[in-house]
Chains A and B, each alone.
Chain A
Amino acid sequence: AQSVSQHNHHVILSEAASLELGCNYSYGGTVNLFWYVQYPGQHLQLLLKYFSGDPLVKGIKGFEAEFIKSKFSFNLRKPSVQWSDTAEYFCAVKGYSTLTFGKGTMLLVSP
């Protein structure tokens, strides 16, 4: 069975700080990896995804993530966060059929 672990439940940063949110997965086959974001009061939106090829993927709003196969990781990064990045971030892995989410990381960016 596939599973996803997000290291931090809550992260608090000041504006302009750098961000890295950890995500580790377990799955025996070829994985497809996603980061979704949920802004307050809004629906889950796709930030970025990795299927194959370049392990460094760039998403919307300046976010990127790096797939490291040997570490079973897909960490999300942003060099300089803004107050508007305050949201909950979910890492997800998809095997053949089911999309499995991590528990989410709540990011609070203080101005």
Chain B
Amino acid sequence: DAMVIQNPRYQVTQFGKPVTLSCSQTLNHNVMYWYQQKSSQAPKLLFHYYDKDFNNEADTPDNFQSRRPNTSFCFLDIRSPGLGDAAMYLCATSRGEGGARETQYFGPGTRLLVL
């Protein structure tokens, strides 16, 4: 089945130690998104890629970076994780052809713990 895959499902890192979260997709979608979801809060968009074009949300901290080496993979890099970065990180994709009518498809998420 075509899908959005996130590995690992749980990631533990130390305060200040760089960490990378991975997302891959078999849907061949043009757009890939990263969301942060803290406990009891709504998912919050960090940034997205339309093909190779990177689009950062205005309030996304500089500590968060992303890479998309090819259509299938997208990475979220947290350069110096703080305790406040502990959250669920969701990857999503969409075709990129429907404009405002785009439906996004989500991966299972990676729960990040910062010790």
CB-based nearest A residue for B44: A101
Query: A44 is contacted by which of B45, B99, B106 (Cβ under 8 Å)?
Result: B106
Quick one: given A43-B108, A43-B109, A44-B90, are A102 and B42 in contact (CB under 8 Å)?
Answer: yes
Q: Are B106 and A43 in contact (CB under 8 A)?
A: yes
Q: How large is the interface on A (under 10, 10 to 19, 20 to 34, 35 or more residues)?
A: 20 to 34
Q: How many residues of B contact A (CB 8 A)?
A: 21
Chain B 67-95 per-residue mask, 1 if CB under 8 angstroms from chain A, else 0: 00000000000000000000000101000
Q: Are A99 and B40 in contact (CB under 8 A)?
A: no
Determine the chain A residues whose CB is within 8 A of the CB of B90 once the complex forms: 43-44
Binding site for B on A (CB under 8 A): 4, 9, 30, 32, 34, 36, 42-46, 49, 51, 90, 94-104
Binding site for A on B (CB under 8 A): 4, 40-45, 57, 90, 92, 99-109
